[in-house]
Structure formats: C-alpha cells, structure tokens
C-alpha cells in the first residue's frame, strides 16, 4: 500500500519519504509562497520489472512528481502532478490539464495517451488540485486546510507549474495549451488573464474549456447538494466504485473509469490503510469531500464568460450536448473570438467519455495556432501556374 492510503488493488509506486523542509528558497518562490520545495518523483517502471495493470498511471504518463512547499501563511502544501515531457522543450506543445471538482489529474489519463498517439512529440502535465488526488495542504495543527477559492486554486496551479519547471530544469516553460474541465475551466481561464498569464512569457498559445458555461454552471449549483446526497457515500471495493460510475453514466468510457476512479477513493478503515492484506476488499469512500467546497461554488464561475473572451491566446470551448451560451458568449462567437465544438454523445466528463475525439480537437487546435510552425510563401512558379501576376 502506498503511503497516502490508496487501495492496493491498483497500487501506485510508493513515493520517497517526505523530505525535511529546511527553509525558504526565495530564488524561485511563487506569488503565494514564501519557500521552496523539494521535488520527488516516481517514474515509469523499468522494462524488467513486473508490468503495471492497464489502468495504472504509468500506462498514461512517464512520471509523477511531488512538490513540497511552505506557503506564506505557514501551511505545508504537497502538490502532486503527472507528466510526460515534450520531445523538444523549445517547440512544445505542453498541454497543461486541470480537472473538475471531485476528480483528479487522472481524469486526463486516457486523453493523454490519445494525444501522444496523434502527436508523439507532445507533452502533458496533469495536475491534482489541493484536496484532490494526492495533493494536500496541511496547517500547523496537522489538519487539512479547507480553502477552495478560485484565487487560491489559481495560485496553486502557478506554484505547480513553476515547481515542475524548476525540478526538471526547464530554461522556460514550453509553448503551452491550457485545458480545464468544469471547475478546471474556471481556473485555467483565470490563469490566461492578467497578470497570471505572464508566467508563460510569450509561450501561452491558447486555452480550452471543457463543458462549462457561466450561466448554466451557476444555475446548476442549486441542484448540486441534491446530487451529492443521492450518490453512494461508500463502496464495497474500488471495483464497485468503478462499476457505479459506468452504470450511473457518470463516466461513459470503461478505460477512463478504470484509470481515474481509483484515485477518487480511499479506504474507510485505518486498519485497511495500514495493512496491505486487508486492502483488497477494503470498503472505500470519497477522497474529496465535495460538500466542503460549497462556499466557493458560485465564485468559481461568476465572471467566467468575460474572462474567457479577454484571456490571452486562442480560445476553444468544447461542450457536451447543446448547452446554452449566454449573451456575452453568443456575441463573442458571432465575432469569431473563439471556436465552439459540441459533442452530443459525451456526458459532462468530456475528456473521459470521448478521449480520442477530445484529443483530436486539442491537437488540431494546437496545430492551427502553433506560432512556431513555419509557413513558407508560395513559389513563383506555382503562382504563375495559377495565373497570378508576379
């Protein structure tokens, strides 16, 4: 069993022990931090080792990184990310992905695999938000910090990007496409606006929002508590949790469910967490208490349409079904300010339900907006053949 209590049924390689934090490193602090952090990594198993299950994270990413950071208020953050590096850091692309509320970085696992099949040189950085997956923020008392404000989540993403760049010795952040699903769409859209986008220098190519529109999202908040109370509070096993996600149509792709659902669950028994022999049949519950995020729900989405339209870089909005665009977005679409794609066969988790289609759209989006692609003028002989005057 890994040190964080994930079920052994789909084990993660155990991270190295938590390093001692020896104090601030002002040379690479983020706006929200007063200290630096050590980064520890787990990498894809060597070829001679026992192969991982098809749903294991190493099937989709090359490394997982843990970044430790002491924040300005003294809280201790341990950020967790999955990454596959682009083959050329100066050319990219690097797709940086942020999941929705209650999900994890493995929400983009199969999507990442599909992207690499279409564009082998691409890199993917998928983040666990605080309180999700393996990212935690602990206060001085040892209790988890409950702060899911949009401002805090954006500061966390900036820290994760900067710490990843530092730990991998990047001279600059590669040409980047930001991708955010639901809550992640609000986070990434905010990251693309002043002053946050400046962390990318000139390398923010564009951003894509998956299945969230301001008006519809705010309207849906009134139903969220009812939906939370209607779902199971625990499952007999991880496999039972996966089956529920499929049978309830929460997720519509079995590969995606097998890859992402285990990271959403934890054993309910402390004994099961400590004893690997018990964890195969351990009852599991949700890793993230979504109800604790309720005070910030409206703040996530208020003003999203305006920010989406004024953010820096190209813009792509992917929706499942025929969600309503509010007035600002309708005007923006008519003015050609962003690309809109509707995928009616997908549910809310677009990147998990139709990962191949989502990957196609994002790779096409990158190719269309890649400023590094050299476009040569037509040859004179070709112009003459077309009857053009030269």
The residues that are catalytic are 182, 211, 348
Residue 102 CA to residue 290 CA, distance in Å, equals 6
Tokens linked to 111: 């999507």
- Rounded to the nearest 10°, the torsion over CA 199, 206, 348, 296 is 30
Residue 133 CA to residue 127 CA, distance in Å, equals 9
The number of beta carbons lying within 10 Å of the beta carbon of residue 51 is 10
**265-267 β-sheet, strand order:** 234-235, 284-286, 265-267
User: Is residue 251 a contact partner of residue 349, using CB atoms and an 8 Å limit?
Assistant: yes
Q: State the angle between helix axes of 183-191 and 150-167 in degrees (0 to 180), rounded to the nearest 10.
A: 70
């Amino acid at each position: 069993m890994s040190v964080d209590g994930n079920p052994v049924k789909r084990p993660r390689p155990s991270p190295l022990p938590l390093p001692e934090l020896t104090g601030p490193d002002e040379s690479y602090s983020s706006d929200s931090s007063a200290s630096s952090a050590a980064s520890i990594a787990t990498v894809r198993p060597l070829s001679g080792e026992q192969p991982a299950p098809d749903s294991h994270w190493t099937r989709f990413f090359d490394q997982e990184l843990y970044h430790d950071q002491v924040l300005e208020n003294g809280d201790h953050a341990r950020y967790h990310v999955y990454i596959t590096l682009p083959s050329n850091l100066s050319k990219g692309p690097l797709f940086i992905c942020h999941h929705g509320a209650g999900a994890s970085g493995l929400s983009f696992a199969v999507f990442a695999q599909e992207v690499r099949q279409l564009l082998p040189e691409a890199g993917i950085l998928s983040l666990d938000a605080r309180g999700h997956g393996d990212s935690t923020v602990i206060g001085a008392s040892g209790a988890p910090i409950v702060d899911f404000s949009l401002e805090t989540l954006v500061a966390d993403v900036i820290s994760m990007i900067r710490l990843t760049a530092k730990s991998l010795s990047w001279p600059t952040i590669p040409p980047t496409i930001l991708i955010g699903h639901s809550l992640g769409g609000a986070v990434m859209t905010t990251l693309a606006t002043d002053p946050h986008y400046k962390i990318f220098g000139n390398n923010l190519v564009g951003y894509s929002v998956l299945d969230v529109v301001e008006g519809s999202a705010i309207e849906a908040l009134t139903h969220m508590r009812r939906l939370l109370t209607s779902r199971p509070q625990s499952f007999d096993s991880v496999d039972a949790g996966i089956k529920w996600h499929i049978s309830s149509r929460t997720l519509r792709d079995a590969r995606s469910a097998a890859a992402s659902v285990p990271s959403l669950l934890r054993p309910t028994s402390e004994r099961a967490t400590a004893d690997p022999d018990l964890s195969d049949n351990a009852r599991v519950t949700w890793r993230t208490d979504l109800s604790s995020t309720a005070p910030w729900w409206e703040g996530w989405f208020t003003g999203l349409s305006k920010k989406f339209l004024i953010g820096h870089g190209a813009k792509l909005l992917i929706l499942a079904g025929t969600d309503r665009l509010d007035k600002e977005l309708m005007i923006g679409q008519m003015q050609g300010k962003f690309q809109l794609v509707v995928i009616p066969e997908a549910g809310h988790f677009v990147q998990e339900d139709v990962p191949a289609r989502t990957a196609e759209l994002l790779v096409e989006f990158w190719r269309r907006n890649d400023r590094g692609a050299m476009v040569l003028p037509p040859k004179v002989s070709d112009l003459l053949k077309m009857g053009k005057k030269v």
